[in-house]
């Protein structure tokens, strides 16, 4: 976490958490979800209007990536100074890019070590790594298929709806706060 974020946390330790305002899609793209987007429905499985606005500002994205992590309940957040901004997930908290040597890098730029590979009942491939569970980016499925064919990754079957419980993450922290709203 950035030093300035840690200093802000120490100075203002009781800033309320923020829910529903930031989303991460299945390709590792961030979306700002204003009141209108949140009113249009949930981030995951919602409409294009419920996604919000795609974030493109490079320095902001770098800041989010450096300060993105999970709490003890498996809710992923971006620590924005003293405020914790919980993230709505379309799929998983991480999206993996696969390199030519089969090493992996999260959408945040952090390198990781693969622990296991899982394939859901809808044909999506995930990697469980030391940083957590992530979906393999669609552009890297050819590379991932090569790793499977070479026996480097042995996909275990899993039911998609069981992923959050099995791998300890929460897709919608906002829904956990207000179960009747989302």
DSSP-derived pairing of the beta strands 94-98 and 132-136: parallel
Instruction: Write down the pLDDT at residue 181.
Output: 42
Tens digits of per-residue pLDDT, 28-63? Answer: 999 999 999 999 999 999 899 999 999 999 999 999
- Summarize pLDDT for 138-167 with one digit per residue, the tens: 999 999 999 999 999 999 999 999 999 999
Same structural domain, 99 and 64: no
Please tell me the chain's helix, strand, coil percentages from 3-state DSSP, rounded to the nearest 5.
30, 30, 40
Q: What is the mean pLDDT of residues 76-94?
A: 95
Domain, as residue range, for 54: 3-91+169-177
Q: Which tens digits make up the pLDDT trace of 91-109?
A: 999 999 999 999 999 999 9
Assess whether 109 and 70 both reside in one domain. no
- Whether residue 129 sits in one domain with residue 101: yes
182 occurs within a structural domain: no
Q: Residue 182 pLDDT more than 60?
A: no
């Amino acid at each position: 976490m950035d030093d300035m974020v840690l200093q802000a946390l120490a100075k203002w330790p009781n800033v309320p958490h923020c829910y529903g305002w930031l989303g991460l899609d299945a390709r590792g793209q961030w979306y700002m979800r204003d009141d209108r987007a949140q009113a249009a429905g949930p981030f995951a499985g919602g409409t294009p209007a419920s996604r919000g606005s795609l974030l493109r500002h490079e320095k902001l994205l770098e800041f989010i990536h450096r300060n993105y992590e999970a709490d003890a309940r498996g809710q992923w957040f971006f620590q924005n100074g003293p405020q914790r901004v919980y993230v709505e997930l379309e799929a998983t908290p991480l999206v993996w890019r696969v390199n030519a040597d089969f090493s992996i890098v999260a959408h945040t730029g952090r390198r990781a070590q693969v622990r296991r590979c899982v394939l859901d009942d809808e044909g999506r491939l995930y990697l469980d790594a030391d940083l957590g569970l992530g979906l393999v980016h669609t552009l890297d499925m050819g590379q991932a298929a090569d790793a499977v064919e070479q026996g480097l990754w042995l996909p275990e079957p899993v039911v998609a709806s069981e992923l959050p419980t099995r791998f300890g993450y929460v897709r919608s922290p906002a829904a956990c706060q207000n179960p009747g709203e989302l």
